[in-house]
Amino acid sequence: MKSNRPYKSAGVYFFIIMILMMLNGCDYKMSTMGYPQRIFVVADSLLWEDVKDDVLETFESILYTPHVEQSFFLEWIPLSRLNDYKTRMNVFLIGVENETNPANDYISKMLPENFKQDVRENKYFYFFKDDLFARDQISLIMYAKDRSALKNNFAALKNEIFDTFKQKYFARLKASMYEKGEQVKIEKHLSEEFGWMVKVQHDYFVATEDISEKYVWLRRKDPDRWLSIWRVPGDSTLINRDSMIKLRDRMTLKFYEGDHAIEEDTYITETNFNGQRTKKLVGLWKNDSLLVGGPFRTYAVYSTTDSSLYMIDIAVMAPGKNKKPFLDQLEVMANTFKIVGK
């Protein structure tokens, strides 16, 4: 007679595990799901109508790749549907204290009394909470005493809030990118031969390296995207738009079969690169003979140790696809760059 003991044992083990979790106070949460660039906003519908323009303008900023793409995508949901979205990757909660409705009441009950007192005194306005409803989730709670305070505080702090969200977004992306490991052999080779390293994600390969030019091209296909790094003797006076375009074109014309920056679509901005303030070219490239193009970003990092500039260049060619998800992955990899010496 066939025994059903294994089935009973499995049930007993499951029951024991659940009891141990409860006894140990384990707070089990589901992992997040969905698209990392989607943000779901819970707020009273009338409040959302009043504040959404500034919030959308901040988080749905436009970039050209050369097609029009958005940084992130926001979608308002009523409180009644929150349970359906608790495992999504990004959830924002927006409320005010002086209006009574289900959304505001729900948010108010989540907040400690000392935080609400500071809100009344206009000392605090927002905070981020990791893993609020699910693991690896980014949540932002914005709460003010009234609508006027909410709008004024957001107008004053929106850049800070957006930058903090991006840092958390990139940190989560980095963890997911390298969960399969990294290519230690390539990293060791780069360190020994060129005096710098980056964390090389799986599926990248060294497409070209030129010791005389101090140049390396790391590439991944399907779709085609790449990260190139090279060293240029010189000082920080080279860190300007025109010089950086010339330095980039010199290498891309040689190694990328004639790629070059579209100057009228390229600008320079100041940014935080791996904890260091530096300049960044943001623009579009094209190849006149191959009739292809796409977005690129180039960082210039000055090293006082060897009086050189390190150019870190990322680019994507993905016809018919959104480029931003691939640019974001490249940004993560580029920001692992560090000079290690030889």
- Which tens digit of pLDDT belongs to each residue from 167-193? 999 999 999 999 988 999 999 999 999
pLDDT band at 234 (very low <50, low <70, confident <90, very high): confident
Q: Both tokens of residue 320?
A: 């018919």
pLDDT band at 13 (very low <50, low <70, confident <90, very high): very low
40-52: pLDDT as tens digits: 999 999 999 999 9
For position 7, what pLDDT does the model report?
A: 37
Say yes or no: 145 and 248 in one domain.
Answer: no
For position 342, what pLDDT does the model report?
A: 60
Higher confidence at residue 184 or residue 1?
184
Say yes or no: 113 and 191 in one domain.
Answer: no
Domains: count for the chain: 2
Q: Look at the block and give the residue holding tokens 């409860």.
A: 22
Judge whether residue 20 has pLDDT over 60: no
Q: How many residues does the chain have?
A: 342
**What sign has the CA pseudo-torsion 137, 138, 144, 150?**
negative
The Cα–Cα gap between 325 and 321 comes to 10
State the CB neighbour count (10 A cutoff) for residue 167: 13
Say yes or no: 57 and 108 in one domain.
Answer: yes
Q: Which helix (H) or strand (E) holds 11?
A: helix 5-23
Say yes or no: 167 and 251 in one domain.
Answer: no
The domain boundary residue, chosen from 153, 177, 201: 177
Whether residue 258 lies inside any domain: the answer is yes
Judge whether residue 27 has pLDDT over 70: no
For position 6, what pLDDT does the model report?
A: 38
Helical ranges in 68-125 per DSSP H: 82-85, 102-110, 113-120
pLDDT band at 235 (very low <50, low <70, confident <90, very high): confident
pLDDT band at 28 (very low <50, low <70, confident <90, very high): low
Say yes or no: 87 and 130 in one domain.
Answer: yes
Helices and strands per DSSP (H, E), number in the chain: 9, 17
For position 274, what pLDDT does the model report?
A: 84
Whether residue 302 lies inside any domain: the answer is yes
Whether residue 85 lies inside any domain: the answer is yes
Lowest mean pLDDT, pick from 6-15, 52-61, 199-208, 290-299: 6-15
For position 217, what pLDDT does the model report?
A: 97
Judge whether residue 269 has pLDDT over 90: yes
User: Looking at this protein, which amino acid is placed at residue 182?
Assistant: E
For position 21, what pLDDT does the model report?
A: 41
For position 9, what pLDDT does the model report?
A: 38
Question: pLDDT averaged over the chain?
Answer: 91
DSSP 286: E
The domain boundary residue, chosen from 177, 198, 213: 177
For position 10, what pLDDT does the model report?
A: 41
For position 180, what pLDDT does the model report?
A: 82
Q: How far is CA 269 from CA 62, 226, 310, in A?
A: 16, 21, 17
What CATH number has the domain bearing residue 196? Answer: 3.40.1000.10
Beta-strand relationship, 38-42 and 73-77:
parallel
Judge whether residue 18 has pLDDT over 80: no
Lowest mean pLDDT, pick from 21-35, 88-102, 235-249, 288-302: 21-35
Say yes or no: 90 and 202 in one domain.
Answer: no
The domain boundary residue, chosen from 121, 148, 177: 177
Domain limits for position 267: 184-339
Whether residue 277 lies inside any domain: the answer is yes
Higher confidence at residue 177 or residue 23?
177
